[in-house]
């Protein structure tokens, strides 16, 4: 979802005390529209991914390459339309971020060889846990007792859900190797979130568009190299031609 320069994530979600009621209402409606669109499109995206991986029609590397290539195109179009200028981040910043992003995405999708898609979604939902841990150590954030309690309840829910899927007669696709890959992927996602917050948004004062444009471009390069290095490129081209 593209966000214009007049409404970034902070501005959309906040209302000033001296803000006119009409403008406040418009901001609220805009926030609701963005959140609704994100949820709906995310659901459609998940349905497509599940259908592709369930039928073994596409591999994790190819999917990630196509995914990040599309993100790059969308971010580039947004940059041209709104005429964003300049880059505040450094190449080394985006090389690090791109590597962490590629690793996180690859492992979470590659895990579908061993676990079903529902478990993947559940594990992705627990990303808040390592994000909080890393932010406390790396960014220096502090969390309230209520926030910690919510996280503990989330952990318990994931454990019970995964255990139920593993022991159920109808549960399929559960494998400890998949859980390990999901864990690596979620940890990488946590590093990505905190690296963006501290290094790019706070220290470099970058825009969301800049981060998406540069990260998606470098991630696509990393994954493209992986496709070639692992010998998956011919199969990927064959899939695209079909």
Q: How confident is the model at residue 7 (pLDDT cuts 50, 70, 90)?
A: very low
Query: In whole angstroms, what is the distance from residue 181 CA to residue 22 CA?
Result: 48
60 has pLDDT over 90: no
DSSP 59: -
| Torsion sign (Cα): 204, 207, 208, 213 | negative
93 has pLDDT over 50: yes
**Could you tell me which residue, 177 or 121, shows the higher pLDDT?**
177
Burial string for 17-33 (b: 16+ CB within 10 Å, else e) reads eeeeeeeeeebeeebee
Q: How confident is the model at residue 233 (pLDDT cuts 50, 70, 90)?
A: confident
To the question of pTM greater than 0.85 for the whole model, the response is: no
227 has pLDDT over 90: no
pLDDT of residue 140: 80
Mean of pLDDT values over 14-42:
76
Query: In whole angstroms, what is the distance from residue 59 CA to residue 79 CA?
Result: 30
Mean of pLDDT values over 174-197:
89
Mean residue pLDDT of the chain comes to 81
* Residue 182 Rama label (left phi>0; alpha psi -120 to 50; beta): alpha
């Amino acid at each position: 979802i593209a966000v214009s320069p007049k409404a970034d994530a902070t501005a959309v979600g906040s209302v000033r005390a001296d803000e006119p009621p009409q403008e406040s209402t418009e901001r609220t409606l805009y926030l609701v529209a963005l959140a609704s669109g994100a949820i709906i499109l995310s659901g459609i995206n998940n349905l497509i991914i599940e259908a592709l991986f369930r039928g073994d029609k596409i591999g994790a590397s190819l999917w990630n390459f196509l995914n990040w290539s599309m993100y790059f195109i969308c971010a580039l179009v947004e940059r041209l339309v709104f005429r964003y200028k300049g880059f505040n981040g450094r190449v080394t910043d985006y090389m690090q971020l791109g590597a962490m992003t590629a690793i996180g995405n690859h492992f979470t999708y590659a895990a579908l060889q061993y676990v079903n898609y529902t478990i993947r979604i559940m594990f992705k939902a627990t990303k808040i846990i390592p994000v909080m841990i890393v932010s406390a150590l790396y960014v220096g954030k502090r969390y309230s007792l209520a926030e910690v309690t919510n996280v503990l309840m989330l952990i318990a829910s994931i454990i019970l859900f995964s255990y139920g899927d593993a022991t159920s007669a109808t549960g399929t696709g559960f494998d400890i190797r998949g859980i390990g890959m999901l864990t690596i992927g979620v940890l990488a996602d946590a590093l990505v979130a905190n690296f963006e917050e501290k290094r790019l948004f706070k220290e470099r004062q970058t825009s969301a568009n800049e981060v998406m444009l540069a990260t998606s471009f470098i991630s696509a390069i990393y994954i493209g190299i992986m496709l070639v290095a692992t010998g998956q490129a011919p199969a990927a081209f064959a899939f695209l031609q079909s």
